[in-house]
Structure 1
């Protein structure tokens, strides 16, 4: 399937998060302290980080006049040295079910903001001031690739729909190959895989600005 030029929508965010939550519910309850794939964080921390990403993207779109010179100034903090700095932290006593409720809830916030934001809205992101579709695509990419990290750490199978990957690639990675498998290409574009004739990336970014 070639990379798509179709818009990334709130429905895509909703689909990505629900697919992720569904597969993560299959994880053994005692597996969440293991490392998440190639990340330095454990699986619990990685879900908190993903939840925080989705929350932060929703929050950037929330103000009447979204900031263009930085992020909405919440306090991000880490529970341990080397852990992710988040606004969002799940109550450990709620267990994995509670953790996944946090992920589901933060995904719902981004879905709602993307659905209701004006097409003219723009907000700051370090990879380019983005519109609601850009933040939707960021949420999809974060969800798909971090669920890949989690699936590796938790011993789960995970391969998201090609169309979802293709739309996210088309929106955020204009320089990515357009004639290769979309899921493998998304993993390559985020430094997680090789493509034929293309080594694994050691640094990468996306481009959030609206396309002309």
Structure 2
């Protein structure tokens, strides 16, 4: 158990682990867990599968990026789901931070590639959890039902080994590759991320505002 003053246990603006909804959800999920690793695994699968992945749900709004808002909405893209997992982990006394990297997605749909103008996804988000004195990466982005429908291997998590990206789909085709490590943060570097989005994806705000009307399932990455 880590000291309550640990910097990665503190609530923050986006990782609002002290919000009543976050507290109730985390405590209910982990009521029968007895170790930090058990709690981490339980929280990971809850976020992975109960919060639906939506690549278009990234509107420019600070409030909508808060963990409590993501939990209430029940969906989000990779960064949003990483934020929620970090908040739940902090509530359960697991030090958590956010990590980011740029990835190439070889199986991006033509529709999404046209929208973005590239198959490179910058600031792909994941959570790092301090377990047994070691930082372990966890990426709860793609929910199980979505993976099964589109033939992508779901990411598993055992609290010991890094779970960071879908290297291959179920047919052995290359799916994702990491290109650049963007580092780790105690909270969401909101301005930095959205500034980079606008530079990398021309027409970002207009295109994604329009795309919000589409379903995540029909436009899976």
Higher relative contact order (CA 8 A, sep 6+): 1
TM-score using structure 1 length = 0.31
TM-score using structure 2 length = 0.30
